[in-house]
Each structure stands twice: as structure tokens, then as C-alpha cells.
Amino acid sequence: MTLVDNSPNYALQQSLKSKISCCGTGLHSGANVSMTLLPAPPNTGIIFRRTDAAGDGLEVAAHVENVVDDRMCTTLGDGKGATIATVEHLMAALSGCGIDNLYVEVDGAELPIMDGSAAPFVFLIECAGIVEQDTPRRAIEILKPVRVEDEDRRAELTPGDNFSVGFEIEFGSNAIGQQDMDVELVNGAFKGELSRARTFGFIEEVDQLRAMGLALGGSLDNAVVVSGDEVLNEDGLRYQDEFVRHKILDCVGDLYLAGAPIMGHFKASRSGHALNHSILRALLADKTAWQYTNVLRDDDDFSEAPDEILAVATA
């Protein structure tokens, strides 16, 4: 679909007003890392850069074609060995806040996990400020259903007027059980309903993950930890159904790897990073299933700060 001029009825692309930085621990690497978000020109997209010596100058676009690992998180790479891991929470925040163009610089192989949710990244974006750019925003409009399955896991994209997600999960632990949620991601719904939901894991899997070199930075400060039928975190859950909300948060971040916001409905059962990426690849491979279309303006307002304010530094 051909883009039109900057009609007041259409949304414009957005970036940050100023650069902003934060630091924290990598969930899987356990390393201390610093990250800086910098404004980028229209039509740049989201670009990740490694600034440390080991990164060897890696610069990679946030796109599903650049996903090189999705076992426990979403990892991007350029095919030459250098990678940037655990990008999904930041990508979810950028999607939820409507950021189209951004450079993300990180001095390590993994983004900081912060508190395990996307709320600190939303706060960073709000502190830096959001600016409209003189170029229409376009979305990927779903034209017909696309479905992928993997044993008892399934995901489907269908046409819809806005971006919405329906998700269901089921775990043997009574602390989680069966949960489902449907949310339409308009008018600040991401921040209000999803952004504070934290990643989660099971205490009995910790030793195995660490033997694999994963979860080295995980703690009760950046994850919900389940032991049997109990949640070990002293303050409990932020939402009664925090687990499915976090799965949706991850999904929002993974789907933003389409390279543009999606206009349609995503429905999944027991999906994870791998299946989220699979349905994106299936969608983009079928040129009859989607088209680019201009995004109408809405009334999203991201001015309210989150309840938890973590240490950040503007620069």
C-alpha cells in the first residue's frame, strides 16, 4: 500500500527526544552491562549496537530474520558470531510506547534485565521523551489467517482493526495453573496491564540452567521464582495472573521483530519465543497474508511514571 502525505488522521513515526542510559545485570550472563538509547532518523527502525571490544562492532536490525537463538530468550546476531541477547522486554516497551526508530547501544552480549519486566524501559522512554517525526507510521495489516503449531503449542494471526493478543498457558504448579488473557493494545494498555509483569522460572530448574551457562544473573530481585506450588518472592505477585501477562509481554516484544507494528489479532496457546518467531516468519513469507498500511492516530498517553523507579542516568 502506498503511503500518503502527513494527513492529521494518520500517526507519524516516533523516536526519543534525547538519549538516555541505564545499567544493570544480564539475566543469563550475570555480567554488569550498560545500555544507551539514542534517537534515530525516520525509517531507521530499531538498531542494536555492541560497543564493547568483544562485540566486534556488531550492528544488527531488530528483525526476525536476525534471530539466531530463541531457547530461553530472544537473541539477535549478524551471522558472524557476535550476538545481543534478551532483547524481548525492551522491544515490548518500544512497541507499547510506539517507538519506531532507535539506536540501542550496549557494552555487552546481553541487555540488562532490570526488575524482570518492561516497566523500567517504559520509564526510560518517558524520561527521554517521545518526539514525532515527519514521516507516516506504517503497520503490517493481517489480511488472512496464518497459523503455526508445534505438538501441543499453537499460534495464529488473524485480521483485526487494532493490535490485540489472546494468550493461554498451563503449568503443573498450582502457583500458576491455567491462565488466559485477552488484551487490545491501544490507549496505554501495554503500560497499564502488561509492563510490570516479570519473567518467571522454577527453582528446580536453576541448577540445570546454570550448568548450561544460563540464568547466571537471575534472582528474586529480577524474576518470579516458583518452588512447587509456592511463589518464593517475599512480596508475592504484582498481578494475580502475572505469569500469563508476562507471556503476553514477551510476545509483544517478539512480534515487534516484524519490523513494524502489527494490525491484527494474535492468539496463542503455550507459545514461547520460538513459536512467536515461527509465526512471524510464516506471515512474512506469505505475501498474500499481509500488506503495509498507514496507522491511524490514537490517544495513547505514556506520561504517567511507573510505581517502581529504578536508577537511571540521562546523558
Active-site positions read 273
How far is it, in rounded angstroms, from Cα 21 to Cα 49?
14
- Strand 138-142, strand 59-61: pairing: unpaired
How far is it, in rounded angstroms, from Cα 26 to Cα 138?
33
How far is it, in rounded angstroms, from Cα 176 to Cα 174?
5
The CA-CA-CA angle for residues 139, 268, 89, to 5°, reads 60
DSSP codes joined into one string, 65-87? GGEEE-SSS-EEE-SSS-EEB--
How far is it, in rounded angstroms, from Cα 49 to Cα 28?
19
Quick check: helix, strand or coil at residue 95? helix
DSSP codes joined into one string, 120-179? HHHHHHHHH-EEEEEEE-EEEEE-S-EEEEETTEEEEEE--SSEEEEEEEE-SSTTT-EE
How far is it, in rounded angstroms, from Cα 283 to Cα 281?
5
How far is it, in rounded angstroms, from Cα 249 to Cα 274?
15
Q: Which three cell numbers stand for residue 259?
A: 519490523
User: First and final CA of the chain: distance in angstroms?
Assistant: 39
How far is it, in rounded angstroms, from Cα 152 to Cα 196?
28
Task: Please report, for the chain, how many H helices and E strands are present, in that order.
Answer: 6, 21
Q: Write the single-letter amino acid at 307.
A: D
Measured between alpha carbons, how far is residue 260 from residues 107, 240, 296 in Å? 26, 31, 14
